[in-house]
Structure 1
């Protein structure tokens, strides 16, 4: 759906239709009635990227229709946070009257936060020289009058930082304040309000559990940090090096001492687990020293591979966060002889689209 076609008055019906469609994937699986967590109806998205279209004396943001691929102008981005929209307007006003900032500007990316920090990336099809950098510093000062902004200039084989390439986000999880380093071009949950609700759901389930937690696909430690206080120890893995570094930074930032995070794919970790081998990035860790009672997985849309399905089936408790209900249902069918669904919650992470985030708690039969 085009941004300029979104009608917040239709939100309730669209969500209801999406939930009913999602539940069709679970046909034949015994599941309790799901809880559904609604999003705010607008200004929910914390990050966005826009192409810049130059037409005569004007330049403006555009997006592309997901079906027709036709471009359309975006002056106000209804899904975007209020801060994101303020920065959109301020950046455009600045480059419209500044030839150095405007010339060959191809794209602008925005990353905002609930904590009020923001990151703006200007992407060019031209070399960036000292003149550009001087004008960019002036722009950064102007944007800092709105909020704390870090600015990045990008061109072919070039990345210029005006301060840093990350922001610090803060979430409130059942009264616990947690801070997260979020890096430019790294994955973060786009809907901060819904992400807090997902963390609360996982924390409330984990409050009933004990022992140690194993987590795969941990990203920047989003769930790892929120659940650290619920388990004796947490061992987590992630394949993206930048996310692993951010996660380790976040462990220190939040003064958490019972979480270890290493770089590994879920497939490699599963193989090492079954073969009794050490994981390269966790070579000083003895898996036999852990008393795992619970595993948390938050895989990509493809879901769990067969080896990881076998791995999760060894645990008493499985917390499965999914962005694809179809592969989630297929994975549940593969392990339903050993596990049953105790709780299911649907989070409307992506309003006005067919996508929905699902969270499931399974226990061993």
Structure 2
């Protein structure tokens, strides 16, 4: 329990609690305080120093639910021993890297405990000893993709607002949490390696030098909408994609030529003309302006030459390529392949896991909802000369039927890597009917993974669990679970 607890103000709109100690980290990166009157989940307000387990803080209650209350920290009286000085000047305002004020070993402990809590409290299945979480290396500049918003709606500090000065509202950066219409201009980002920062700054400078309009997220006017930068760790190739709201040849060609001239590292330069009121572009045409329409990433392979993956502007590829390689090796090893197995790779995306395990399997069948991703997977199979992998596009619930199993054969091994929502219950039930010998379940959301394990427990035992840190300085954690069919 917290050491001190009393209410300062009982008015309906300003209930405050003074001098309480933060107990632990909860789901979605929130912190938790356990009091005599129940649990309080504590958010980190924009512009604040963040809270960490061990901090002694004053809280302001912001919401009340049936089983808990919500609050934000207004003042920190005592700093936790697990704290460290944030390395980024934008910490507390930017929505990324929310845990950089917590020592990295402690981040790993919190993530490991999150996996334990979800699997035991939600899944309620028998578990082996959960392996220590696999740390990421490096913990900065590890992402291969960033999307910057270019908008008229600059986030202003309290000092800037109080100054009364006229400030240009254009900004190239990240959305401020909870404010869809406010963008924080970024000076330096520690997420993506060079030349990401230089390219973003060059775009920002060109906007101001040429009086280019940026998109207004409220009025839906303005020209430049987003800047997407992708980098390849192994080949050093760089892709830049601009998204614009309408055709303006002088601005568009001028900016593209500026980037081409000043950044010879860019091997793929593209743009998207999107007149919709939202920035989603999966349904939009991508126009390749210079270079190739893709970049390439490679993964070393013990079973043959390195695998090469083509990544287009719309392709999904794990954003931490180095740690993804480790994740895939765990997945392949736990699949226990001898060369005689038929493997189903569900939610295969662009086929990275399917192709990574194909050389050790008799046959791999990848299933994916997004048709463009399936097209990428087929191309990647051709590029790598892999002939024992095939891919099917469609809704998993509709495809994974008895007739599909009859047509393609029952799998000995199933690998599944669903989105954060987990697997649909109908899909989980079909896996029970298919009765493969082993299921390797890769998840980016251990809460929904635990829910699905509770269903699979009818026919499978969890025999191995390996958490993997893919995103340092965030609360996100990847988890691999091996399930073996019960006798």
Specify the TM-score bucket, using the shorter chain as the normaliser: 0.7 to 0.9
Counterpart for residue 224 of structure 2: 105
Q: 1-side partners of 2:464 and 2:301: how far apart? A: 19
1:225 maps onto 2:355 in alignment: yes
1:62 maps onto 2:155 in alignment: no
Q: Please state how far the C-alpha of 1:52 moved relative to its aligned partner.
A: 2.2
What SS does structure 2 have at the residue aligned with 1:360? strand
1:116 maps onto 2:236 in alignment: yes
1:166 maps onto 2:294 in alignment: yes
Q: Which runs of no fewer than 5 residues in structure 1 stay unpaired?
A: 279-284
What SS does structure 1 have at the residue aligned with 2:199? helix
Structure 1 stretch 201-210 or stretch 297-306: which is displaced more? 201-210
Q: 2-side partners of 1:200 and 1:84: how far apart? A: 28
Which structure carries more relative contact order (alpha carbon 8 Å, separation 6+)? 1
What SS does structure 2 have at the residue aligned with 1:149? strand
Q: Please state how far the C-alpha of 1:53 moved relative to its aligned partner.
A: 4.3
Which structure 2 residues correspond to residues 1-365 of structure 1 after superposition, within 5 A?
4-5=90-91, 6=97, 7=100, 10-27=103-120, 28-29=124-125, 30-39=127-136, 40-53=138-151, 59-67=170-178, 71-99=183-211, 104-114=223-233, 115-129=235-249, 131-156=250-275, 159-163=286-290, 164-174=292-302, 176-209=305-338, 210-271=340-401, 274=402, 276=403, 286-287=407-408, 290=409, 292-313=411-432, 314-365=435-486
Counterpart for residue 94 of structure 2: none
Q: 1:303 to 1:145 in 2, by over 3 A?
A: same
Q: 1-side partners of 2:429 and 2:104: how far apart? A: 39
Q: 1:82 to 1:13 in 2, by over 3 A?
A: farther
Q: 1:329 to 1:277 in 2, by over 3 A?
A: closer
Q: Deviations over 1:19-47 (max 9, x none)?
A: 21221011132233224221221101111
**Cα pair 1:60 1:92 within 8 Å, conserved:** yes
What number of residue pairs does the alignment pair up? 353
Counterpart for residue 281 of structure 1: none
Q: 1:77 to 1:227 in 2, by over 3 A?
A: same
Structure 1 stretch 331-340 or stretch 161-170: which is displaced more? 161-170
Q: 1:149 to 1:183 in 2, by over 3 A?
A: closer
When normalised by structure 1's length, the TM-score is 0.86
Greater helix share, 1 or 2?
Answer: 1
Q: Please state how far the C-alpha of 1:137 moved relative to its aligned partner.
A: 4.6
Structure 1 stretch 136-145 or stretch 343-352: which is displaced more? 136-145
Q: 2-side partners of 1:182 and 1:338: how far apart? A: 38
Q: 1:238 to 1:159 in 2, by over 3 A?
A: closer
Q: 2-side partners of 1:297 and 1:255: how far apart? A: 24
Q: 1-side partners of 2:210 and 2:268: how far apart? A: 19
Counterpart for residue 80 of structure 2: none
Q: Deviations over 1:65-97 (max 9, x none)?
A: 325665422111112233322322333344443
Q: Which runs of no fewer than 5 residues in structure 2 stay unpaired?
A: 1-43, 47-87, 92-96, 155-166, 215-221, 276-283
What SS does structure 1 have at the residue aligned with 2:248? coil
Structure 1 stretch 248-257 or stretch 206-215: which is displaced more? 206-215
Q: 2-side partners of 1:286 and 1:12: how far apart? A: 49
Q: 1:259 to 1:158 in 2, by over 3 A?
A: closer
Q: Please state how far the C-alpha of 1:176 moved relative to its aligned partner.
A: 4.7
Q: Deviations over 1:223-256 (max 9, x none)?
A: 0110001111111111111001000000000011
**Cα pair 1:48 1:110 within 8 Å, conserved:** yes
What SS does structure 1 have at the residue aligned with 2:476? coil
What SS does structure 1 have at the residue aligned with 2:465? strand
**Cα pair 2:468 2:479 within 8 Å, conserved:** yes
Q: 2-side partners of 1:158 and 1:315: how far apart? A: 40
Rg bigger for which structure? Answer: 2
What SS does structure 1 have at the residue aligned with 2:398? helix
Q: 1-side partners of 2:170 and 2:455: how far apart? A: 52
When normalised by structure 2's length, the TM-score is 0.66
What SS does structure 2 have at the residue aligned with 1:256? coil
**Cα pair 2:270 2:286 within 8 Å, conserved:** no
